[in-house]
């Protein structure tokens, strides 16, 4: 008897985010939670960790019924949730951050805190230095710090909602090691992910959710086909990029030097043809974003030229790039794409290209309802952007894209999307490619890069280390290049 959920219900208006979820997880179990976008995984995790209160249902831990009204209640009961991008106070040291959420009295006990931190670090192999400034930590190390803090607060249940988006493969291995060791110590771990191979590698058991309900539980070893079928019914995941004839050059960079804060891309020459898909690989912050922003006209190059077709756009304004058919979709959906506080209908109207002085709201709402159906967005025309699940925010962004895009620039096009949605997104993108759109996308997912790109440019500390042919390279070679090594040893 360990963690037990009984008939959890949680509705948001008409949406049944959790519709009678019952689940049991034993001590020492690494339990995966799977499901399509909007299935209700995050909602369930938030209920268990006290961030939202369920309408009805019970949470039991070790046979005792918990009253969870706040994250504080949850952590006191021994349930801690790791956030995707853990909140840390950057100018403080690791130890200070650790102590900030410390239990007990008003007086800080630095010595005890440091001791606890070091013990946890030794036991679980955390790689950070307690005296270092938090801002020097990678996202992966911040997660470790947060785990250490939750442990110190007495967590016996650890919840991770899509923890592997935005961390490197090496950091992911490290995280898995830590989670395995925690499970050996009797910890209950709930692990939400869209990546089947992660669930297969890590978890002992998994629960599949669909539309707020539990479809079923599966024990390891898992079969991917079975999981996919449980999630979506029968789906055939497409084989990736069909060969398409390349057209004339759409994007041409000649010795472009551009810098943004700490990253400088130097003397980059590159061209992308109509109908071509260029993948950008590399660790986060190696220059991919800087490059994309230069191509979008958001950063002005210090030297070199950028041409779109026959037009020299060097030093021109973002507006000119837009008019030339460039479309940029950055990674931060709610920060640089959607507008929190505005509805889906308003978003569609904003990007409709209509120019009439008065907005025909009846027409706009009808169109929005159609678009929502057409793009399978889970939401209504009145839903505000921030109420959509991550995957549905991405669908909305894609749905807002104009038809006549010549060059599409994207960061992490399928981050946070379930397999079916990711596949759907790529079906849409490849259809655009058929009609001659050139696509440049950055991704941290090697599979995605290999599957959909024609060529892959590997960035390392601001430079393109090499451009490889996606058809002939291997994941290993790509991994080494990303790490800055020119050849496989």
Partner 1 sequence: MNDLVRRLRVPVVSVVLALAATWLLLVVVDAPPLDALWQIWNGSLGRLSKIPDTLIAWVPLTLAAAGLIVTFQAGMWNIGVEGQIVMGAIGAAFVVRELSGPPAVVIVAAFVVGALFGIFWALIPGYLRTRFGVHEIFSGVALVFVASAIAVYLIIGPWSRTGVASTSGTDLFEERYWLPTVGADEYSWLAILVAVAAVVAIAVLMRGTRYGLRLKAVGKNHHSAFLMGIPTNAYMLSAFAMCGALAGIAGTVQALGFHHKLVPSISGNYGFLAILVVLLAGFRALWTAPIALFFAAMLVGSTQLSLRLGIDSSLAGVIQGMLVLFILVVGAWQAQRTRRLARRAETATTAGGG
Ligand X SMILES: Nc1ncnc2c1ncn2[C@@H]1O[C@H](COP(=O)(O)OP(=O)(O)OP(=O)(O)O)[C@@H](O)[C@H]1O
* Total binding residues toward partner 1, as defined by CB under 8 A: 39
Instruction: Kindly state the smallest distance separating residue 192's Cβ from ligand X, in Å.
Output: 7
The 10 Å Cβ neighbour count of residue 362 is: 8
Interaction partner, residue 330 (partner 1, Mg ion, ligand X, none; CB < 5-8 Å by kind): partner 1
Tokens coding 288: 């991919």
Q: Does 104 bind partner 1 (CB under 8 A)?
A: no
Among 124, 126, 128, 328, binds partner 1 (CB under 8 A): 328
Are the CB atoms for 420 and 232 separated by under 8 Å?
A: yes
Token pair 């042919």: residue: 469
Q: Which stretch binds partner 1 (CB under 8 A): 5-13, 237-245, 261-269, 438-446?
A: 5-13
Q: Does 403 bind partner 1 (CB under 8 A)?
A: no
Q: Which stretch binds Mg ion (CB under 5 A): 35-43, 169-177, 183-191, 473-481?
A: 35-43
Q: Which stretch binds partner 1 (CB under 8 A): 180-188, 318-326, 411-419, 474-482?
A: 318-326
The 8-class DSSP code of residue 470 comes to T
Q: Does 97 bind Mg ion (CB under 5 A)?
A: no
Q: Does 37 bind Mg ion (CB under 5 A)?
A: no
Residues 345-404 binding ligand X (CB under 6 A) are 378-379, 387-391
Q: Distance of CA 364 to CAs 120, 367, 368, 370, Å?
A: 56, 5, 6, 10
Q: Does 42 bind Mg ion (CB under 5 A)?
A: yes
The CA distance from 218 to 31, in Å, is: 10
Strand-by-strand arrangement of the 263-273 sheet: 263-273, 249-260, 303-308, 311-312
Q: Which is nearer to Mg ion, 80 or 416 (CB)?
A: 416
The CA distance from 363 to 344, in Å, is: 14
Build a one-symbol-per-residue string for 40-79: x at contacts with partner 1 by CB under 8 A, - elsewhere: ------------xx-x------------------------
434: phi then psi, degrees, rounded to nearest 5: -55, -40
Is 123 exposed, middle or buried (CB count within 10 Å of its CB: 0-12, 13-18, 19+)? middle
Strand partners for 400: none
Query: Residues 6 or more apart from 479 whose CB is under 8 A from it?
Result: 169, 446
Q: Does 339 bind partner 1 (CB under 8 A)?
A: yes
Q: Which is nearer to Mg ion, 206 or 306 (CB)?
A: 206
Q: Sign of the C-alpha dihedral, residues 204, 423, 210, 338?
A: positive
Q: Which residues bind Mg ion (CB under 5 A)?
A: 42
- What is the binding site for partner 1 (CB under 8 A)? 10-15, 52-53, 55, 318-319, 322, 328, 330, 335-343, 346, 349-351, 354-359, 361, 380, 382-384, 387
Q: Which residues of the chain form contacts with ligand X (CB under 6 A)?
A: 12, 15, 17, 35, 37-43, 378-379, 387-391, 416, 418
């Amino acid at each position: 008897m360990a963690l037990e959920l009984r008939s959890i219900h949680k509705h948001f208006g008409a949406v049944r985010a959790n519709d009678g979820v019952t689940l049991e997880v034993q001590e020492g179990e690494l339990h995966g939670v799977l499901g399509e976008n909007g299935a209700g995984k995050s909602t369930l995790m938030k209920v268990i960790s006290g961030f939202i209160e369920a309408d009805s249902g019970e949470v039991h831990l070790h046979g005792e019924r918990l009253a969870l009204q706040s994250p504080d209640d949850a952590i006191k009961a021994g349930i801690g949730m790791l956030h995707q991008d853990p909140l840390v106070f950057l100018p403080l040291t690791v130890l200070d951050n650790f102590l900030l959420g410390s239990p007990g009295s008003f007086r800080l006990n630095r010595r005890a805190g440091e001791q606890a931190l070091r013990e946890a670090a030794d036991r679980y192999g955390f790689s950070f230095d307690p005296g270092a400034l938090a801002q020097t930590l990678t996202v992966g190390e911040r997660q470790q710090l947060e785990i250490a803090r939750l442990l110190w607060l007495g967590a016996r249940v650890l919840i991770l909602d899509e923890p592997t988006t935005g961390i490197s493969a090496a950091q992911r291995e490290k995280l898995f090691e830590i989670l395995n060791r925690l499970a050996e110590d009797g910890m209950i771990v709930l692990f939400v992910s869209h990546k089947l191979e992660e669930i297969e590698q890590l978890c002992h058991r998994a629960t599949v959710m669909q539309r707020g309900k539990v479809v079923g539980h599966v024990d390891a070893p898992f079969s991917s086909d079975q999981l996919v079928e449980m999630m979506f019914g029968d789906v055939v995941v497409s084989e990736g990029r069909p060969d398409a004839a390349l057209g004339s050059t759409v994007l041409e960079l000649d010795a472009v030097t551009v810098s943004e804060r700490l990253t400088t891309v130097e003397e980059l020459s590159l061209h992308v043809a109509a109908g071509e898909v260029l993948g950008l690989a590399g660790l986060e912050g190696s220059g991919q974003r800087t490059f994309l922003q230069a191509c979008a006209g958001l950063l002005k190059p210090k030297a070199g030229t950028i041409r779109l077709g026959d037009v020299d756009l060097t030093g021109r304004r973002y507006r000119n790039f837009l008019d030339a058919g460039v479309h940029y979709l950055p990674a931060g959906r709610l920060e640089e794409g959607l507008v929190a506080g505005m509805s889906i209908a308003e978003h569609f109207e904003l990007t409709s290209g209509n120019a009439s002085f008065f907005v025909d709201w009846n027409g706009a709402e009808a169109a929005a309802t159609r678009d929502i159906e057409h793009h399978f967005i889970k939401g209504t025309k009145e839903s505000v952007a921030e109420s959509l699940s991550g995957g549905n925010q991405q669908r909305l962004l894609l749905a807002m894209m104009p038809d006549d895009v010549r060059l599409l620039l994207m960061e992490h096009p399928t981050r946070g999307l379930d397999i079916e949605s990711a596949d759907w997104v790529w079906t849409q993108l490849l259809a655009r490619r058929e009609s001659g759109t050139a696509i440049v996308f950055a991704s941290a997912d090697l599979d995605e890069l290999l599957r959909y790109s024609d060529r892959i440019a590997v960035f390392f500390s601001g430079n393109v280390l090499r451009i490889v042919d996606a058809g002939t390279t291997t994941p290993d070679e790509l991994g080494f290049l990303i790490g800055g090594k020119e050849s496989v040893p």
